[in-house]
């Protein structure tokens, strides 16, 4: 079996086994079922169209996430609107702390939001995030630290001024 055919089979299998995760990532950007499904569909199409660019099986996941994130961000830029992040919460909650946290995440620029989503919602390792975003590992660590520090300061300020 050729390398390209093997990679195609692996990609199709990966996509089939992770569609729900992809949907959650896309939804975290656009907050719309229909848009999230479109983003996932576009990402799958792009991946199937360019699967020959994957150098190794070990990079398949990070390669696909990069496509998914870029497609999500591109979709946001086209729509030019950001909806409240709290719609990501399954069910409804009156817990103010969660709503404040999701509002703080919603206010982040797309690049920072991507870091938070990949690290804390997708539970990816720093190294994998760096690969997906084509950044240095130390850059990812520094940016995550800065984002979290700023979010904490913002949330603390809001609590003090309620």
User: According to CATH, what is the number of the domain 88-162?
Assistant: 1.10.10.10
Rounded CA-CA distance 69/140 in Å is 16
Q: Where are the domains of the chain?
A: 1-83, 88-162
User: According to CATH, what is the number of the domain 1-83?
Assistant: 1.10.1740.10
Rounded CA-CA distance 122/108 in Å is 17
pLDDT in tens, 71-118: 988 887 777 644 444 444 444 444 455 556 667 777 888 888 888 888
For 34, other C-beta atoms within 10 Å of its C-beta total: 8
Identify whether the C-beta of residue 54 lies closer than 8 Å to the C-beta of residue 63: yes
Q: What confidence score (pLDDT) does residue 97 get?
A: 52
Q: What confidence score (pLDDT) does residue 150 get?
A: 86
Q: What confidence score (pLDDT) does residue 160 get?
A: 61
- Could you give the residue ranges of the DSSP H alpha helices within 31-136? 33-50, 60-79, 96-106, 110-116, 126-133
Q: Low-confidence residues of the chain, pLDDT below 70?
A: 80-102, 157-162
Rounded CA-CA distance 36/44 in Å is 12
Identify whether the C-beta of residue 51 lies closer than 8 Å to the C-beta of residue 8: yes
């Amino acid at each position: 079996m050729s390398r390209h055919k093997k990679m195609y089979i692996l990609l199709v299998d990966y996509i089939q086994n992770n569609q729900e995760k992809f949907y959650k990532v896309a939804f975290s950007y656009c907050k719309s079922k229909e848009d999230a499904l479109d983003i996932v569909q576009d990402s799958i199409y792009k991946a199937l169209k360019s699967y020959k660019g994957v150098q190794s099986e070990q990079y398949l996941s990070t390669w696909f996430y990069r496509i998914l994130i870029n497609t999500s961000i591109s979709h946001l830029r086209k729509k030019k609107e950001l909806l409240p992040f709290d719609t990501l919460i399954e069910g409804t909650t009156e817990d103010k702390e969660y709503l404040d946290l999701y509002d703080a995440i919603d206010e982040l620029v797309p690049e920072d939001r991507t870091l938070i989503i990949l690290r804390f919602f997708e539970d990816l390792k720093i190294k994998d995030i760096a690969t997906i975003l084509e950044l240095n590992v130390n850059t990812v660590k520094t940016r995550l630290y800065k984002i979290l520090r700023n979010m904490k300061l913002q949330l603390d300020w809001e609590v003090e001024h309620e």
